[in-house]
Structure 1
């Protein structure tokens, strides 16, 4: 599942770890796989980042300051059944296993972390995200009879097919992968142009959005000032 051709997944992952060496080493590794890697060193900082960014995957150490890892993930899981959770722990106890069961973890990894085990866990998370998108939801209904077909990457108004360019399709594919989430300019530039911040591509992105808005219901494609774009369906 993890791509070998340097192509990154357009998902956001939050890595929570208070040990600086581990944090730095694995952040470097994760940035080779995902287009948006967030880091936090304590539970409070992590919760703020989660609420703002809504990551698809979270990796959390249990023993972190302010809010411990399991308590933090319990708080998140209460309102988010879809986020994929991986826990890091120095040792496994019966109490930990009982508490972790309700979290529906992808996996728990014992320190020192095995790179192979982490890769296997990330592959499982990516597979579950992909299956959710392709199987659980087939169409996203928009206002005024519009809909987005996730499997076939097709935009329709009632039964009428709306013609899209390749870049329009790539942008909508990214935005519809997590409705209401704000995708950063860098995420979008990487997905559509396979590049990061570039003045020429920023201008091209603005033109692309302008054209797409003419093909979508009013106020569906929203610009969040200085952050990025998102799809709104309500």
Structure 2
């Protein structure tokens, strides 16, 4: 790996603080953005909000182990690159890890030469290869959104939505867990901003909520709306 700052974000997950801090310090020499987490649940929350391109995950984590964390992520994401660190060389762990589309599986203790080689491989994969998904996200059990066809489904049956509702959902699913201002939504749906459209927006959101799981769309007072999944 060249001595340059890579423009990717990376999440390092390790429960032993001293090891984590040492590697985070090391990774910041090579990556523009480095996040850290000490357990699986914290890591998943960071993954959902920050969407790092690279994950380095220890298997033995509290609250949610590394394999469980990656399995949960792989339910809807096959593009984020992952490196697993573990003290296990057991074949069962290797087989489970192989199902998670890992770039590398490293046995601890991991020296920096082997980690550097794994990161070089990750960078090559991101630079040269693109993983295409079906672009269907499943949420709240039986609901799903098809990015390509702009379709909302429940139990694999299409839910009828208006053109305005479709545009709003498209914007929401492109910006999940982010606050969208009233202005940005109005510009997307009506292609212009008029103060009078605020009432139309509120009515559309009200009707849309009736077709979605409760609490999916939240109102951020004075700012706009957020879709949380």
Q: Is TM (by shorter chain) over 0.5?
A: yes
Distance 2:64 2:41 in 1: 6
Alpha-carbon offset, residue 95 of structure 1: 1.1
Counterpart contact for 1:54–1:181, Cα < 8 Å: no
Alpha-carbon offset, residue 105 of structure 1: 0.8
Q: Where do residues 149-160 of structure 1 align in structure 2 (5 Å cutoff)?
A: none
Among candidates 36, 54, 58, match of residue 57 of structure 1: 54
Specify the alignment match of 1:67 in structure 2. 64
Q: Structure 1 stretch 62-71 or stretch 93-102: which is displaced more?
A: 93-102
Q: 1:181 to 1:56 in 2, by over 3 A?
A: farther
Q: Where do residues 125-204 of structure 1 align in structure 2 (5 Å cutoff)?
A: 125-132=122-129
Specify the alignment match of 1:20 in structure 2. 17
Specify the alignment match of 1:97 in structure 2. 94
Distance 2:27 2:12 in 1: 9
Specify the alignment match of 2:224 in structure 1. none
Deviation track 1:130-149 (CA, whole Å, cap 9, x = no partner) reads: 0136x98xxxxxxxxxxxxx
Question: Is 1:113 matched with 2:110?
Answer: yes
Counterpart contact for 1:53–1:181, Cα < 8 Å: no
User: For the pair shown, which has the larger CA radius of gyration, 1 or 2?
Assistant: 2
Specify the alignment match of 2:2 in structure 1. 3
SS at match of 2:84: strand
How many pairs are equivalent? 139
Runs of at least 4 residues off by over 3 Å: 179-182
Distance 1:130 1:79 in 2: 22
Distance 2:78 2:34 in 1: 21
Among candidates 31, 34, 38, match of residue 35 of structure 2: 38
Alpha-carbon offset, residue 181 of structure 1: 9.6
Specify the alignment match of 1:225 in structure 2. none
Normalised to the residue count of structure 2, the TM-score between the two structures is 0.57
Distance 1:101 1:91 in 2: 14
Alpha-carbon offset, residue 218 of structure 1: 8.8
Unmatched 5+ stretches in structure 2: 133-173, 178-190, 194-229
SS at match of 2:23: helix
Among candidates 55, 75, 79, match of residue 78 of structure 1: 75
Distance 2:192 2:48 in 1: 27
Unmatched 5+ stretches in structure 1: 137-178, 183-216, 220-234
Distance 1:79 1:31 in 2: 28
Specify the alignment match of 1:165 in structure 2. none
Normalised to the residue count of structure 1, the TM-score between the two structures is 0.55
Distance 1:102 1:78 in 2: 12
Counterpart contact for 1:14–1:38, Cα < 8 Å: yes
